[in-house]
Each structure stands twice: as structure tokens, then as C-alpha cells.
Structure 1
Amino acid sequence: MGTPTSVRDRADDPVRRPAPAPGVGGRTRPWGTWLWPGVLALVLGLYGAGGPQLWEDELTTWDVVTRPTGRLLDTVQNVDAVLAAYYLLLHAWTGLFGDSDLALRMPSVLAAAGAAVCTALIGERLFGRRAGLVAGLLLALAPVMTRYAQEARPYALVVLAVALATLLLLRALDRPEGVARWSLYALAVAAVGLLHLLALTALAGHTVAAAAKGRTAVVRFGLAALAGLVAASPVVVLGLTQAARQLSWIPRPDLWALAGIWPQLFGSGLLAGAAMTLAVPAWAGAAREAAGDRAPLLALTVAAVAPPLVLWTVSHGDVSYFYYRYLLFTLPAWAVLAGAGLRGLRARSAVAVALAGLALLTLPDQRWLREPYAHFWHGVDYRGAAATIRKYHRPGDAVVYERGDAYWRLLDAGVRHYLPPELRPRDVFLARSAAARADLWPTECPDPARCLGGEPRLWLVVQAGEDDPLNTLPAAQAAALRARYTSTGTERLTGVRVALLVRKD
């Protein structure tokens, strides 16, 4: 007689009751599990996305993607082959939506939202709805995801590609005999390799997940992964030949670098500590449950930890690859592990309080990300320099940009980007543009005195520091300008100085 009550109590227990399979019994997947993480990531990515000025890497993106298609393809033959797919995608995008700061960053905003959705679906598939919701929200809240959602570089797209590949792998492992699902997974692996070859280290976690499903799954996984690698191989091979040139600035990592990579991955030391701490109860719960629950935890742990260890190890060779933004694709694995750890909290209010606490921890970082120079190592007010030239410009004016040893500051590209298309003064000392050279760097006139024209006024754009702005230029350029021009005034801005030179009578 007491049995009905006992059975009902067990059936109403959210921990004991198994979640119905999607589509079974007329039920569908709850849209809130993936919708809210996607909306949160989209809102955080859009809010203030046009505020921070483009920094040097983003200016490189702008310069390359606004070249004609033929010149773009010529460029990636010489440099940035690993970004060729991203450049072509953004080239098509800017052709439709323009090249404003927001337009350039919008694909990354959308990718960050998509990554949050995929992360939530991975968590739901492996550990239930609550774990999926928490995982997606955690990824959306991570300041580093907002940072790279608001950047015209491919890293948010890489996170999306790896998360989508993981989700497609899980679907394929549900029915390892099928061909269509493995084909989709192969395409996703190819996308990962085309967007960033270092992200292919994510296959370590995928290998563990396939191995847990048996021999058939391992064989099908191997064939699909190989197909994806073959599709991406031209970019991978060409990218490896360019690695020494492009990554020479990254130092060889020591043990301190390995220890310090984890806070950088999240963009917040507090959030990194919280997320990693939350992964502990996930393993503790698996130890008390069936062994089958440990396989996804092991695969996720390998996906989160193996790529940094692999890149740290190989970075002790001729080229170092160990930099945090190249490892952002591990964040979905960390988020799902944290979501699995929080699923033990039965009360929804406790989960809400935990998420609210994590959101408060990230608030200072989120605010800082909207500052004008949030993307810079050393801020440069390109926008202000362009505004000065535009305000006082006269027809017939020309411009001189400092390049030299500090060309990485990209004063020419930065000012050109923020000037209107109809106002592009002649670049006096430019001999051959970067686009014409199929490269990222231009060449300058070898004889500055002969390259000067008859312009009555020249705008001089140099880095801040020297009292006399001409002192920042190469000696031959400075001498040629001093012989024919005199300075009539300067504008001091953050990281840059704009001077107006007038021709001597």
C-alpha cells in the first residue's frame, strides 16, 4: 500500500529520474538549454563591440581582407596561410557589410554565440540539461570569450569549429555505423584545420571519446578524422613553412609559462580557479556512480589539458607555439566539466547563486574590455590621428608615416582605416604597398629627397616620444623634410603624434 508513494517519490526525484531522449514520447529538446547561453554570448559580444579601436593584428586583417581576391590569395602564399580561410570569409563578409570596426568583428560575435550554443548542447548530451545550461553560460561569461568575440581575428571561429566538431562527434558515436554523421564530422575537422592548424590538437580528446565506444567507432573516427586532415593539409603544410617567420616573437616557454597559461585562457584568474574547482566534484560524483559516466569526463579532461601540454612540449624546438589565444578552443571542455560539477546541486536557486557569483567575478574584466585601448599592448589613438587630419585637411595635402623599426605599430594602416575613403592623402615615401608586394609590409623610397613632390603641406604621423617629431624618422627622410618644410604645429595623442609641415618659400 505504501508502494505507490515510494514509486512516485523516486519518479519525481530530478537526480534519479532519467532524462527522456530528444524526440521520444512527443517531447523535444528544451530550447532554453541552448538559447540563453547563445543570447548571453551574443549580447556580451555586441555590447560595446565598436568601442575599442582596432589594434595591430586587427588592422592586418583589415588590410588583407580589403585587397582584391587575387592579391589576397597571392599574400597567403607568402604569409598567414593558416589564416587564409578566415581572410577569404571576411573578404566576402566585408564585401556585403562594409569594413567598419563592428562589421569586421561581427563574424566573431556570431561565432562566440554559436560556441556557447554548442557547448550547452554538449553538456546536455553528456550530463543533462542543467549541466548543459551551466556550461553554455560559463563559456558566455568568460571575459576572454567576449574579448575575442570583439576581435577581427579567427579565434572565436576556432572555438566554434572545435565545439561543433565535438558535438558532431558525439552524434556520430551514437550511431557509429552511419555514414552521413561521420561525413559531417570530417567536414568539421577540416574547418578546424583550415581556421587554425594548432586547434587540431583537439583531436586528442576526440580520440579518447571514440576509444570508449569500441573498435567500430575507433575505425570510423579514424577515417573521418583523416579525411578532414587531408582536406586541410595544403594549408597545414604551407602554414608550417611560414611558422618561423610569423611566430618568432613568441618566447620558448618555461614551467612558469605552463602554470600561468590557465588564468589567461579564461581572461580571469578568479574564473579560471572557479571553473577548475567545479570540475573536481564532477570526477568525485563519477567515482560514486557507474564506470560508464567516467568515459566522457576522461575525454573532456584530455580535451582541456592535452593541447596546452602538447604545445608546451613542441615549443621547445625551433619554433614556439605556446600562446594562450591559440588554446582558447579548450574552453568548451572546461565549461562542460564545470557544468558537470554543478549538476550535483539539486536546488535551482543554488545553481543560480553560483552563476551569479561567477558573473560578478567577471564584471570588472567585462567593463575593462570596452575601453578604447583594451585590445592593445601599447595604445595608439589611430582614430584621433585620423580625426585631426580630416579636420584640418586641404586639397593637395600629402602624408608621411613613420615605419622603420616600429612598423609593427601600423601607423599607416591605422590612420588609413579611420580616414574616409575619399580622403587618402598621397603617402610620400611609399615605394610599393604591402598589397602590391603580396606581403604584410610595404617598401619605402630609397631616395627620400627625390620622392618628395610639390605638395605645399605634409601631414607627419609618428609614434609619440620625441620632442621633435622628425627625429623619429630615418635620417635621410628627416633631412629631406627639414630642407624643404617647416613644422607649424603638432597634436599629441595616445601613442601617436600628428604634425603639420608647410613647404618653405
Structure 2
Amino acid sequence: MVVNRVTPVGDTQDPHATPGSGFGSLPLIRWGRELWLLPILLLAAAVRFYDLTAAAIWGDEGSSLLLARYSLAGIWQHAAFDVHPPLYFMLLHGWIELFGDGIFALRCLSALAGIAAVGLGVWLVDRLATRRAAIIAGVLLALLPTAVRYSQEVRMYSLLGLLLIAATLALVYWIRRPQRHRYLVFYALLMSAAFYTHYFAVLAALCHWVYLGLIRVQHGYRFRHIQRASWWLANLAIVALYLPWLPNLLDLMQHMEQLKVGGDVGWEDPVTLSSLPSMVWSWLIQDDGEQLPLPVFLALPLALLVLAAVAVVRDRSVSRGSVLLALYTGLPLVLVFAVSWITPVFIERYLTAYALGLPLLAALAIDRLYSRVRVLALAVLVSLIAVEMVGVNNNATVDSNDQLDHVVNYVNQHFQPGDRIVTSDMLWYLSYVYYDRTGAQVRLYTPPTADGHSTRPNEYGFGTLVTADVYLDSLAELPGKDRVWLVGTFGDPGEFPSLPKAWQASGEVHAGGVQARLFVTKSAAE
């Protein structure tokens, strides 16, 4: 089988070695050839570990921590009512057992997964193209802002990217050597793990099937892998491994209304035509770009589309690896955008795993441009790195004094026995309890609506993490309420609209969008 290599597959010679002069024997040159991946991994680690603890734990991260506190059986049970499968939370549970629940340790799990994904992305491009393309891909992937951001959160998105890139790599190895069934075993295990990590993993499976279908009907050399019994058996194995979770998924789909009521789905704004280019800008600069002049706003997404076309059109390999990366990056983006006209799910973090394909695809295009128009290729590379650096800087722009933890630490320091703490919103509650050191039960304010309907979350989504005794329908119901801390959105008096007349404001602290106000009763004040 012909591959895009100078050296035949299986040859023990280094296909990237430069023949000729004795300079290749110099220690520095040898070191550069053997350890070329190390600087890329160090770059990936530097941007992911930089200020890893600067941003406070936010609501989604707090939900991860609450769920990870359960036993493995409890995680399985409660994840069945959540919008995400259980694998990440089980791994986080074990991680906490080993390394504790400090914020640095917690976020290290995602950071390490993100660094590993960079390494595997480089490996994947190295199999599909040249060493030069692999190095370019490594630099661009290491700096990809959306990947950096979600490598710094206590959520499953970084792990999902790692699993899907690894599965795609296993697929490439199997396509080249279909008689090596171990690659399909790896593929089945990795894809099964991805399905247990996030429901959007199904989009990667779809990309793989479409890719195998395309190389089956392409002109010239046709790959018949999609017809092989081993491929079908591997996918049947994925289904079999997922069967224990399937009833939970079906139940969740039947209760989408409960998830919408609780605000766990359906909260995203409806998409518009600008949402698609906005997503590309978000991937690259961590800003939707909609404040930019229209020509600039459209220029970057269109330029990336042109790069994708260059990568695909200039691909002379029989396996058409650039098509695989184009599908992996573009198909989920377009499908989720289309579905979001019906049900809004066009959310950056849900698609971050697929954004990892963007720098890999760009690297293939730059490498192929370099062979013909070197100046243009270098200009494109420098421009992309500059754009990504803007996003990396935006990620790192965190005011550590403007965070929820400052509010909670203030309450911790000024807390007195018998004080009550009430939060106004589920997301504030989820993050507050991580920092709370008072030992008091933190309550969640859920006043009935004007027509008497309860605002308590149901058992689906975040509601599965909160027991009924946490909810507080009326501030007057608080026992021993001489001193009460009310925690909510800064400058929003509507969150606690009906304060008891006997309460007097005694203190206040705020940081950014959150505030804590201390109230005492008149009798206590006297």
C-alpha cells in the first residue's frame, strides 16, 4: 500500500533522516532529531500550568466536585440524571483520593490530559504527513486557546479531546495495517471511553464512518476497510460496552423537559448566521469577534476554510489523511450548528475536542504551501501564531482579586457559630460549597413564584446533586437567624426581594459579580 512517506511502512530507517553530511552526527543535531517533541510539550505545559489556580472554581466545576464526592456506584446513579456520562467524574473521584482536592491538584487532571492531547496530535500529523508538518501542528495545537482554557477546568472536555485524538490515531494505524487487529482493539476501547465521557463523542464516530466511506469510493486506490468484518465487530464491541449506560441515556432523553426547567439544557441563546464564524473566533481568541468590522469578522474563518481546502486538494497520499482531519474538524461544527436552529447546543466547550483538529489541518496546509510558496507559508504560520497568542493572553487575563473565593474567604473569617448562609442561585451554590470552611449548611434560596409554583430544581441535571434540606423557600423559615449571610449576584436586589423587616444590614463584601451581605436581627444588634 502506498503511503505519504519516503520510507516504506515498516522500514526501521528514520523516514525523516537527512542523508548526506556528517553534521548529523553532532550531539546537538542528534539531540534535536531525537527530542524534537520535548520543546512542544514544554510549551503546551507552560501555557496550561500558567496561572492554573488564578480563576476561582465556577459552577460547572463545582458540580464536578460534588458529583466526584460520591462513591463510584453513587456517581453512576447521579450521572444518570446529569447531562454528562460518568467516566470523568469517576476518574476525578480517584484523582482526589490520590492527590487531594486542592485547586491545583484538581485542575492538573485536565492540564495533563491537554498536554497529552498535544503529543498525540503531533503523532497523528507525523503519521499523515512530514516531520515539518508535525512540528507546525504541535506549536499551533500547544497554543490553541480553546484547548488551553478547557485544560484549566475541572471538567471533562480536555479528557474528551485526548480520547478522540487517540482513537483517530488508532484508526489511522489500522487503516495502514488492517491485519493488525490490536489497533482496532485500542480504537474500540478509546471510543467506548469517549462515549462514557461526553455524548458528543458520537460525532467523532460519525466522522470516522464518513471518512471510511469516502476513501472506499475515491478515484484510484480504494480502501475497503469499511467492508471488513473486523471494523464492524469493533463497532459492535463499542455498542456492547455502552449497553450498560444506554438505559440511562434513553431515560435522560425522555426527560429533556425536566432538564430545561432546571436550566441545565436550553439555556443557550438561539443561533444566528453569525454564530458559525463566531465559534471559530472563540476557538482562536476566546472572544466571539462580533464587535469586529464585518470584513475582518469573516476574513479569518474564510482564510481557515481556504487552508482546509489547500490541505485536502494538495494531499497526494492514497489514504487522504487530510480528509479525515477536515471531517473531524468541520463536520461536528456544521452538524451542531444545524441542530442548534432547533435546540440550541452550539456551545464552545462541547466542541473543543473537535477544535483540536483545526491546527492539525492548518499545519498540513502550511507544510504543503511551504514546498511551493515559502514566504506565504511562513506568513500564514506567523499570523496564526499571533492570533492564538491573543487568545492565550485573553485566557491569562484573570484578576485574582476579583473572584468568588475572596467573598467566601471573607465569610469564613467573619463567621460566628449559629450564622446562616444562603445563596441565591444554583451556580453560586455549587462553587460556594467548595470554598466554604464554616461547617454550616449552605442553603439555596428557592422562593415560589407569584402564582405559587415552586422554583426548586427537579432531580435532573444539577438538581441530582442537592438534597431537599438544602432548599429554602422563605427567609423567614431560617432557624436561629440572628445573623444571616446572603450570597448572590452583585447589584441585583431582586434575588432576595422580601427581606424580613427585623433584619438590618451589618456588612458587605463583593468581588466581581458576586457579593455577600451580612444581616442581623434588631434584637441581636441591640
Aligned to 2:86, the other structure's residue is in SS state helix
Aligned to 1:491, the other structure's residue is in SS state strand
Matches of 1:330 and 1:429, distance apart in 2: 36
> 1:199–1:326: 8 Å Cα contact kept in structure 2?
no
**Kindly tell me: are residues 427 and 205 of structure 1, through their superposed partners in 2, closer, same or farther at Cα, counting changes over 3 Å?**
closer
Matches of 1:236 and 1:134, distance apart in 2: 40
Partner of residue 502, structure 1: 520
Within the candidate set 395, 407, 414, 1:369 is matched to 395
> 1:402–1:463: 8 Å Cα contact kept in structure 2?
no
Q: Which runs of 5+ in 2 are unaligned?
A: 18-32, 216-221, 290-298, 447-455
Within the candidate set 299, 320, 329, 1:304 is matched to 329
Matches of 2:340 and 2:244, distance apart in 1: 22
Aligned: 1:334 with 2:355: no
Partner of residue 5, structure 1: none
Once the two structures are superposed, the pairs formed by residues 233-244 of structure 1 within 5 Å of their partners are: 233-235=243-245, 237-239=247-249, 241-242=251-252, 244=256
Partner of residue 428, structure 2: 411
Aligned: 1:232 with 2:242: yes
Structure 1 or 2: larger helix share? 1
Give, as a single letter, the amino acid of the residue that structure 2 aligns with 1:425.
Answer: A
**Kindly tell me: are residues 501 and 103 of structure 1, through their superposed partners in 2, closer, same or farther at Cα, counting changes over 3 Å?**
same
Matches of 1:412 and 1:498, distance apart in 2: 12
Partner of residue 323, structure 1: 347
Matches of 1:142 and 1:271, distance apart in 2: 15
Offset of 1:368 from its aligned partner? 2.2
Within the candidate set 407, 410, 422, 1:385 is matched to 407
Within the candidate set 66, 71, 78, 1:75 is matched to 78
Aligned to 1:197, the other structure's residue is in SS state coil
> 2:488–2:515: 8 Å Cα contact kept in structure 1?
yes
Offset of 1:356 from its aligned partner? 4.6
Matches of 1:428 and 1:188, distance apart in 2: 40
Matches of 2:268 and 2:202, distance apart in 1: 20
Offset of 1:474 from its aligned partner? 5.4
Matches of 2:171 and 2:5, distance apart in 1: 26
Aligned to 1:36, the other structure's residue is in SS state helix
String of CA shifts for 1:29-64, please: whole Å, max 9, x gaps: 955454333322222111111111122211211222
Once the two structures are superposed, the pairs formed by residues 390-405 of structure 1 within 5 Å of their partners are: 390-394=412-416, 396-403=417-424
> 2:484–2:520: 8 Å Cα contact kept in structure 1?
yes
Offset of 1:502 from its aligned partner? 3.0
Matches of 1:282 and 1:177, distance apart in 2: 29
> 1:138–1:335: 8 Å Cα contact kept in structure 2?
yes
> 2:110–2:153: 8 Å Cα contact kept in structure 1?
yes
Once the two structures are superposed, the pairs formed by residues 96-107 of structure 1 within 5 Å of their partners are: 96-107=98-109
Offset of 1:110 from its aligned partner? 0.9
Within the candidate set 12, 18, 22, 2:6 is matched to 18
Matches of 1:27 and 1:457, distance apart in 2: 73
Number of equivalences: 464
The alignment yields a C-alpha RMSD, in angstroms, of: 3.5
Aligned: 1:214 with 2:219: no
Give, as a single letter, the amino acid of the residue that structure 1 aligns with 2:403.
Answer: D
- Which deviates further from its counterpart, 344-353 or 88-97? 344-353
String of CA shifts for 1:173-232, please: whole Å, max 9, x gaps: 222123222111111111121111212211233224434363345423232123223322
Within the candidate set 479, 485, 502, 1:452 is matched to 479
String of CA shifts for 1:426-448, please: whole Å, max 9, x gaps: 44678999999971445424565
Aligned: 1:53 with 2:56: yes
Within the candidate set 472, 476, 487, 2:495 is matched to 472
Aligned to 2:101, the other structure's residue is in SS state coil
Partner of residue 161, structure 1: 163
Aligned: 1:343 with 2:367: yes
Offset of 1:263 from its aligned partner? 2.3
Partner of residue 283, structure 1: 312
Aligned to 1:411, the other structure's residue is in SS state helix
Matches of 2:380 and 2:91, distance apart in 1: 38
> 1:33–1:132: 8 Å Cα contact kept in structure 2?
no
> 1:266–1:331: 8 Å Cα contact kept in structure 2?
no
Aligned to 1:83, the other structure's residue is in SS state coil
Offset of 1:89 from its aligned partner? 0.9
User: What is the TM-score of this pair, normalised by structure 2?
Assistant: 0.77
Matches of 1:50 and 1:86, distance apart in 2: 20
Moved beyond 6 Å, runs of 4+: 26-29, 347-353, 428-438
Once the two structures are superposed, the pairs formed by residues 4-15 of structure 1 within 5 Å of their partners are: none
Aligned to 2:180, the other structure's residue is in SS state coil
Give, as a single letter, the amino acid of the residue that structure 1 aligns with 2:420.
Answer: V
**Kindly tell me: are residues 474 and 73 of structure 1, through their superposed partners in 2, closer, same or farther at Cα, counting changes over 3 Å?**
farther
Aligned to 1:500, the other structure's residue is in SS state strand
Matches of 2:375 and 2:36, distance apart in 1: 16
Matches of 1:26 and 1:140, distance apart in 2: 25
Within the candidate set 193, 196, 203, 2:195 is matched to 193
Matches of 1:138 and 1:100, distance apart in 2: 30
Offset of 1:284 from its aligned partner? 4.3
Partner of residue 264, structure 1: 282
- Which deviates further from its counterpart, 132-141 or 331-340? 331-340
Give, as a single letter, the amino acid of the residue that structure 2 aligns with 1:462.
Answer: G
Give, as a single letter, the amino acid of the residue that structure 2 aligns with 1:193.
Answer: F
Matches of 2:269 and 2:250, distance apart in 1: 18
**Kindly tell me: are residues 414 and 267 of structure 1, through their superposed partners in 2, closer, same or farther at Cα, counting changes over 3 Å?**
same
String of CA shifts for 1:3-28, please: whole Å, max 9, x gaps: xxxxxxxxxxxxx9825657614789
Offset of 1:392 from its aligned partner? 2.2
Aligned to 2:55, the other structure's residue is in SS state coil
- Which deviates further from its counterpart, 122-131 or 23-32? 23-32
Matches of 1:384 and 1:250, distance apart in 2: 29
Once the two structures are superposed, the pairs formed by residues 422-461 of structure 1 within 5 Å of their partners are: 423-427=438-442, 439-443=464-468, 444-446=471-473, 448-453=475-480, 456-461=482-487
**Kindly tell me: are residues 235 and 451 of structure 1, through their superposed partners in 2, closer, same or farther at Cα, counting changes over 3 Å?**
same
> 2:429–2:444: 8 Å Cα contact kept in structure 1?
no
